[in-house]
Homo-oligomer: A and B are copies of this chain.
Amino acid sequence: MHRLLFTTCSVLFFTLVSAQEDSLFIRKLADEILVNSKAYTNLHTLTKTVGGRISGSPQTYKAEQWGKQALKDAGADKVFLQECKISHWVRSGKDEAKFIAANKETPLKVLALGNSVTTGSKGITAPALLINSFDELEQRKNEVKGKIVFYNYKFNPRFIHVFRAYGDAISYRVYGASRAAKYGAVATIVRSMSESTDNYPHTGAMIYNDSFPKIPTMAVGLWDADKLVSAIQGNKNVNIFVRTDAHTLPDTVGYNVIGEFTGSEFPDQYITVGGHLDSWDPAEGAHDDGAGCVHSIEVLRALKAVGYHPKHTIRIVLFADEENKGGGSAKYIEEAKKEKHIFALESDAGGFTPRGFSLGIAKERLEKMQRWIPLLQPYGVYEFTGGGGGADVDSLNIKFGIPVGELIPDSQRYFDYHHTAIDIFENVNKRELELGAINIAALIYLVDKYGL
């Protein structure tokens, strides 16, 4: 009994001392970020001097240069580019749409979806068919031929975590065109992936099924979606006009931008922290995913600034081409096969106030990590949930079983801005952005120190 008691006390003593040391270190990291962070100014430069940076655009290469410089300025021991094949879809003009009912034309705020084909310069005019779900599409498949199908599937407001509403609705954006083309539709319009209170259309990737004709496809703003619903419900003869010059060019060459903070004990073992450097084209990609890029760079800067010496190499990765085909991620995963990776985390859910981490990791390891939550609670993180990492790192887990994670910020505002013209710097709050960086830096410190 005495020996057991002694052992228990020792463990407890060690645990308390260690927790206190960690708590003090994380406080130091937090102060460093709250007082000296470069995350917000870095985001300003990326969004205002580079701007929107859709894969393959000239801004893609300006963003890579920005990333290299920002990583050097943050104190990276090594900065390099990793060549990869990236997609190159282009929208050069303004996408247009309107509906015509009882001889009256009503314009619609639209954006062609990523990968959409062009309508041709004259556009397409065809009768509208309102479809509320894929079930309804199947029931009414005989009515589809020659029509422009308008998918009006709404975000379900009952989901508290808004990404669940996105997950519930996204197949209409991604697969809607080909599912309608199968029955002869000539174009599709999809209600924007949002439950915002404004009318900005939300673009985003779609995928064609090669078995069916490729037809143009667009997203429409929510107010205009509601107008279109009313018009169709009130009038059997509604026509829609759509025009976009969107088109896909051959894949091109791009780069993941990588900066390293070399490990002192295991320099060949990597902890990855990343965001994606590309964005959609309507705005500046501030939340999606400028925030994730500057979060990641800030982790390196802050850990260096407080004099931390990581055991493992902490590798900051600004991934190319996440929004479209994931060319950057594919290349990183391919190279990772030859390396030893401890953990990979992405920030790709916006620069909002943090709430928790989602982790793709075995249950018993997750439970071990959950013991760290009290260390992060003072900075707003209350939950480590099972789930996965961000889109760019998930395959490391799926293919090689490497633990992955993603910062989960509060999701309420994300789909107000996501893939719209208002995903701009002004809609990111400095302190919310910094709190994200604090929590990621703290988690990386704990993973580096204690392993998983």
The minimal Cβ–Cβ distance linking A113 to chain B, given in whole angstroms, is 25
Decide if A382 is an interface residue (CB 8 Å cutoff): yes
A107 CA to B19 CA, complexed, in Å:
51
Decide if A380 is an interface residue (CB 8 Å cutoff): yes
Decide if A197 is an interface residue (CB 8 Å cutoff): yes
In the complex, are the beta carbons of A378 and B160 less than 8 A apart? yes
Residues in chain B near residue A382, CB distance under 8 A: 382
Interface residues of A in 296-353 (CB under 8 A from B): 353
In the complex, are the beta carbons of B412 and A162 less than 8 A apart? no
- Interface residue count on the A side (C-beta < 8 Å): 26
In the complex, are the beta carbons of A160 and B412 less than 8 A apart? no
The proximity string for A residues 148-190 relative to B, scoring 1 for CB distances below 8 Å and 0 otherwise, is 0000000001101010000000000000000000000000000
Decide if A34 is an interface residue (CB 8 Å cutoff): yes
In the complex, are the beta carbons of A35 and B157 less than 8 A apart? yes
In the complex, are the beta carbons of B157 and A34 less than 8 A apart? yes
A153 CA to B410 CA, complexed, in Å:
31
Task: Give the segment of A47-55, A64-72, A239-247, A430-438 that binds chain B.
Answer: A430-438
The minimal Cβ–Cβ distance linking A344 to chain B, given in whole angstroms, is 27
Decide if A31 is an interface residue (CB 8 Å cutoff): yes
Decide if A134 is an interface residue (CB 8 Å cutoff): no
Residues in chain B near residue A195, CB distance under 8 A: 431
Which chain B residue lies CB-closest to A356? Answer: B382
A430 CA to B415 CA, complexed, in Å:
12
In the complex, are the beta carbons of A413 and B432 less than 8 A apart? yes
Residues in chain B near residue A30, CB distance under 8 A: 158, 160
A197 CA to B43 CA, complexed, in Å:
14
A429 CA to B415 CA, complexed, in Å:
11
A382 CA to B31 CA, complexed, in Å:
24
Decide if A224 is an interface residue (CB 8 Å cutoff): no
Decide if A289 is an interface residue (CB 8 Å cutoff): no
The proximity string for A residues 372-386 relative to B, scoring 1 for CB distances below 8 Å and 0 otherwise, is 000000111010000
Which 5 A-B pairs rank lowest in CB-CB distance, beginning with the nearest? A34-B157, A382-B382, A412-B431, A412-B432, A353-B410
A-B contact pairs, 16 of them (CB 8 A): A30-B160, A31-B158, A34-B157, A160-B378, A160-B379, A160-B380, A160-B435, A197-B430, A355-B380, A380-B410, A382-B382, A410-B410, A412-B432, A413-B429, A413-B431, A416-B429
